[in-house]
Structure 1
Amino acid sequence: MCHSLDRELANTPKIAMSEEELIYLAILAGTIPVGFLFRYLSPPVKQGAALLLGLSISLATCRIHTLHSLITVLGTWAIIKFSWRSAPSLSLVWTFLYLLFFRLATLFGLPPPTPFANAVQLLLTLKMVSLANEVQSYHLMKKEDVSSFTKSSVIGGLSQEPSLYDIISYSYCYIGLMTGPFFRYQTYVDWLQQPNPSSLPGHVPCLHRLKLVPVYGALFLYINSYFPLAYVRTEEFLDHQFFFRLFYMTAVFFVFRMRFYAAWCSAEAGCISAGLGCYPEGAMSKPGGGPTVQYSPDPDTPVVYDFKTIQNIDCYNTDFCVKVRHGMRYWNMSVQWWLHHYVYANAPFKAYTLRAAWTMFISAYWHGLHAGYYLSFLTIPLCIGAETALEGTVRAKLGPMGQNIFDWVHWFLKMRAYDYMCMGFVLLSFGDTINYWTSIYFSIHVIALGCILLGKQLKGKGEKRVKKDDDIQQENVGEKKE
Structure 2
Amino acid sequence: MLAFINKNKNDLIYLGLLLFSVFIGRYYRSIGSVQAKKWVGSIIGLLLIVTVSGYNAIHPIFSALLGITIIKLTTVRYCHVATFFLMFGYLFFFRLADKFGLPLSSGQTNLIEMIIVLRVVGVAFEINGSWITVGKTKKQENDDNKSQVKGIDRDDDFVEIINPCYADLFHYTFNYVGLLTGPYYRYRTFDDYFHLPFSKYVDCTGFTINTLKIVPLYVSLYLALSNLWPLEYILSEDHNNRNFLYRMLYPWALFAAFRQRVYSGMTLAESVCTSAGLGAYPVQGRNRTGHGPTVGYLKLKKMSEEEAKSAQYDFITVESMDVWGCETVVTLRDSMKVWNKAVQYWVAMVVYKRFPVKLLKIHAALFVSVIWHGYHAGYFFCIYFCPFYLMAEDIYYKLYYKDATGTKKKIIGFIMWFLRSHSESYQAAAFLLLTFDRIWIYYSSVYHYWYGVWFAFLILGLLLNQVHKIGRHKKIEDVNTKEKIKNVKQ
Q: Given the two structures, how large is their TM-score scaled by the length of structure 2?
A: 0.87
> Matches of residues 157-236 of structure 1 in structure 2 within 5 Å?
161-195=163-197, 197-236=199-238
Matched, 1:306 2:314: yes
- Report the Cα offset of residue 68 of structure 1: 2.2
- Note if 1:52 corresponds to 2:43: yes
1:271-311 per-residue CA deviation (whole Å, 9 max, x = no partner) reads: 10100001100111111111111144695792000000110
* 2:134/2:160 contact within 8 Å kept: no
CA offset at residue 367 of structure 1?
0.1
> Mean alpha-carbon deviation: is it higher for 354-363 or for 165-174?
354-363
Q: How much does 1:431 deviate? A: 1.6
1:91-134 CA distance string (max 9 Å, x none): 22221122111112221222212323211110111111110112
- Counterpart residue number, 2:123: 131
CA distance in 1, matches of 2:355, 2:115: 21
- The aligned residue for residue 382 of structure 1 is 388
- Which residue matches 1:431? 437
| Identical-pair percentage | 28
Partner of 2:327: 319
Distance 1:426 1:148 in 2: 51
Measure the CA separation in 2 of the matches of 1:338 and 1:196: 24
C-alpha deviations, 1:392-428, integer Å up to 9, x for none? Answer: 3333575543222111110111111111111011100
Of 107, 111, 117, 2:103 maps to 111
Partner in structure 1 of residue 401 of structure 2: 395
CA drift at 1:148: 7.6
Cross-structure match for 2:28:
38
Distance in 2 of aligned mates of 1:292 and 1:265: 24
Q: Helix, strand or coil for the counterpart of 1:289?
A: coil
After superposition, the CA RMSD in angstroms is 3.0
> Out of 52, 60, 82, which is 1:69 matched to?
60
Contact 1:134–1:158 (Cα < 8 Å) also in 2: no
Q: How does 1:83-482 map to 2 (within 5 A)?
A: 83-140=75-132, 143=135, 161-195=163-197, 197-294=199-296, 295-296=299-300, 302-347=310-355, 350=358, 355-395=361-401, 398=404, 400-466=406-472
Quick check: 1:14–1:225 contact (8 Å CA) kept in 2?
A: no
> Which has the larger displacement, 241-250 or 468-477?
468-477
Shift of the 265–275 alpha-carbon distance from structure 1 to 2, 3 Å rule, reads: same
Partners in 2 of 1:129 and 1:362 — Cα distance?
A: 12
Q: Structure 1 residues 154, 269: closer, same or farther in 2, change over 3 A?
A: same
How far apart in 2 are the matches of 1:251 and 1:425?
A: 14
Counterpart of 2:78 in 1: which secondary structure? helix
Deviation at 1:347, TM superposition (A): 4.0
1:440 and 1:404, CA in 2 relative to 1: closer, same or farther beyond 3 A? same
Q: How far apart are 1:446 and its partner, in Å?
A: 2.4
TM-score (norm 1): 0.89
The answer as to whether partners of 1:155 and 1:291 remain within 8 angstroms in 2 is no
Using a 3 Å threshold, how does the CA distance of structure 1 residues 49 and 438 change in structure 2: closer, same or farther?
A: same
Amino acid at match of 1:123: I
Q: State the alpha-carbon separation in 2 of the partners of residues 340 and 157 from structure 1.
A: 18
Q: Distance in 1 between matches of 2:126 and 2:220?
A: 41
- Secondary structure class of the residue paired with 1:292: coil
Distance in 1 (alpha carbons) for counterparts of 2:202 and 2:350: 31
1:469 CA displacement: 5.9
- What SS does structure 1 have at the residue aligned with 2:77? helix
Of 408-417 and 300-309, the range deviating more from structure 2: 300-309
Deviations 1:202-260 (A, max 9, x none): 11111110111001111111121111111112121101111111221111111001111
Q: Report SS of the residue matched to 2:185.
A: coil
C-alpha distance in 2 between matches for 1:342 and 1:322: 28
- The one-letter code sitting in structure 2 at the alignment partner of 1:68 is H
Tell me, yes or no, if the aligned pair for 1:32 and 1:269 is still in contact at 8 Å. yes
Between the aligned partners of 1:356 and 1:160, the Cα distance in structure 2 is 27
Aligned position for 1:9: none
Deviates more, 1:434-443 or 1:208-217: 434-443
Aligned positions, number: 470
CA distance in 1, matches of 2:123, 2:54: 25
Q: Which amino acid aligns with 1:64?
A: Y
How far apart, CA to CA, are the structure 2 residues paired with 1:348 and 1:460? 33
Report if aligned partners of 2:199, 2:278 keep a CA contact under 8 Å in 1: no
For the residue of structure 1 that corresponds to 2:310, the secondary structure is coil
Structure 1 position 146, deviation (Å): 7.2
Give the Cα separation in 2 of the matches to 1:142 and 1:158. Answer: 6
Query: How far has the Cα of 1:199 moved from its partner?
Result: 3.0
1:155 Cα deviation after fit: 6.1
Q: 1:212 to 1:280 in 2, by over 3 A?
A: same
Contact 1:135–1:158 (Cα < 8 Å) also in 2 = no
Q: Is the 8 A contact 2:229 2:254 kept in 1?
A: yes
The answer to whether the 8 Å contact 1:357/1:381 transfers is no
Structure 1 unmatched ranges of 5 or more: 1-12
Contact 2:131 2:161 in 1 (8 A): no
**Unaligned 5+ runs, structure 2:** none
Task: Give the structure 2 partner of residue 23 of structure 1.
Answer: 13
CA 1:472–1:205: 2 relative to 1, 3 Å: closer
Q: CA deviation at 1:355?
A: 3.9
